[in-house]
Structure 1
């Protein structure tokens, strides 16, 4: 299966993450791969301070584009999932294999999730279970098909055990090269900022974050503090994505940027424009030629 993922490394998207995220950034795999290669970072570390589904990180690792990844999430439930999966993939796989995908079991897992169990495996699996059985993967949503299961799709529609177990197996093979943390995103950025051979990809909670899985939202001061931090790291290789709002252009007015389209699937499919911002230290290679000197896509 690893060979199959390596073959897919030529594609625009490689699906590795077991989590479903509205607006997940796995679709940026091709762009991030180009950035990694243009900056000679294939033997380095790729860092996501606001990991969520970590789709891009896992795709880059499994296809051999980077040597190590560091994924961080301040949400204790999302962190519990990654911690449990990376530290004990065999045990996590066993839970997936034995899982009953029913409304009754959904209710039990919901109680574990809301109770924020101190048992990382229990909380992590409950987070995973709800993500795979809830509408659009939104953790605070209801089950696919509704509690009465009268919808067009049923609760097990996104719980393909064989496919999920294979993703977990592959992640387990690479787990020694995955670091998982549960701290503030700014602390992660500062921790890795001065390290050579590192690319930081920041995808923080957005200004308009409807449909997001994040329990942690950003206030205006948080957005400003992140901008102050990143703008001050002129020698660090970082990429940032945000929703396309005026505040972002103001906060990163001195940095190169471009718009890109992304499909969101929370409740309904919506195509939205977002902004990608680049640090001055990044060599954009042919990406720079494609977006033009002004940092905006050619018409």
Structure 2
């Protein structure tokens, strides 16, 4: 079934922008649909789990607006994990680093060196360097170059996406909910299995996609990784989970027995474009109000 943004209407609740990270194709825009699924399934006082969190825009939006009681965010990449851990554990220190940040190519080079070489367990240093590059690189891609170029002759400069007041406010808000956010650095399948039997839990898997994964994700998947995830989720079909992927034939091959629908999503990596993606549902997940009758 083809839908346009899951039949959302302008009159519905506007999605909140909470995450400090910029992610091409980030799923914060699915807030309205996820909010509805939580309500259809009686999970509004439960736990929301993202095994491949990245920017965690949807998770934070759902938590801050009271749609769920707790969220679990996970990322296998040590740099993204360090960002989330340092932000949750030390929001005041993180905010201070934002306020004191110099926005220049020289500073960008220092932060890039920290991103590449800082000890993986120096969470604040590595986490802030990851954040700095995300906010100052083109489209937020960590392996890209700074906005405006190394010579800063572009139409936009390195500080174009680094509003210190707005970013410190997001950090402050997330810090208020820190005790209700658990942060993990593990394989996504392991996290799914950890939470699969937990009551009142919705798992939303948004793994690296089949196409363009190398440019949009820090950890791309092999074909074996995609197959392993499918085996895991298909084996948990009596649990409540959903999955999003790019609209490619492999998804139908891996999840052909599950319900799915197409949706549109705006990407901003290098140029604005609208992509068709697929959402897959477990059989246990109620997807519309009619099924409640």
User: Which TM bucket (shorter chain)?
Assistant: over 0.9
Number of the residue aligned with 2:74 = 72
The answer to whether residue 17 in structure 2 is matched with residue 32 in structure 1 is no
Shift in Å at residue 234 of structure 1? 1.9
2:177 is aligned, of 158, 163, 174, to 174
Shift in Å at residue 153 of structure 1? 0.3
Equivalent pair of 2:213/2:220 in contact (CA under 8 Å): no
Number of the residue aligned with 1:157 = 160
Q: Deviations over 1:22-69 (max 9, x none)?
A: 000000000000000110101110000000000000000000000000
The answer to whether residue 133 in structure 2 is matched with residue 140 in structure 1 is no
Moved more, 240-249 or 214-223: 214-223
SS in 1 for 2:243: strand
**Separation of aligned partners in 2, 1:282 and 1:244:** 21
Number of the residue aligned with 1:18 = 20
Unaligned runs of 5+ in 1: 1-8, 290-299
The answer to whether residue 116 in structure 2 is matched with residue 114 in structure 1 is yes
Equivalent pair of 1:22/1:212 in contact (CA under 8 Å): no
**Separation of aligned partners in 1, 2:288 and 2:90:** 39
Q: Deviations over 1:54-91 (max 9, x none)?
A: 00000000000000000000000000000000011011
Unaligned runs of 5+ in 2: 1-10
Structure 1 residues 46 and 71, CA gap change in structure 2 (3 angstroms) = same
The answer to whether residue 110 in structure 2 is matched with residue 123 in structure 1 is no
Q: Deviations over 1:196-240 (max 9, x none)?
A: 100000000010035744221111111011001101112210010
Shift in Å at residue 148 of structure 1? 0.5
Number of the residue aligned with 1:92 = 94
Structure 1 residues 12 and 264, CA gap change in structure 2 (3 angstroms) = same
Equivalent pair of 1:206/1:243 in contact (CA under 8 Å): yes
The answer to whether residue 200 in structure 2 is matched with residue 197 in structure 1 is yes
- Corresponding pairs, count: 282
SS in 1 for 2:229: helix
Equivalent pair of 1:22/1:211 in contact (CA under 8 Å): no
Q: Deviations over 1:250-289 (max 9, x none)?
A: 1000101000000111110111000000010011124889
1:62 is aligned, of 61, 64, 67, to 64
**Separation of aligned partners in 1, 2:290 and 2:149:** 44
SS in 2 for 1:191: helix
Structure 1 residues 107 and 197, CA gap change in structure 2 (3 angstroms) = same
SS in 2 for 1:166: helix
2:258 is aligned, of 255, 260, 268, to 255
The answer to whether residue 190 in structure 2 is matched with residue 187 in structure 1 is yes
The answer to whether residue 230 in structure 2 is matched with residue 227 in structure 1 is yes
**Separation of aligned partners in 2, 1:261 and 1:82:** 28
**Separation of aligned partners in 1, 2:215 and 2:45:** 32
Number of the residue aligned with 1:292 = none
**Separation of aligned partners in 2, 1:15 and 1:250:** 35
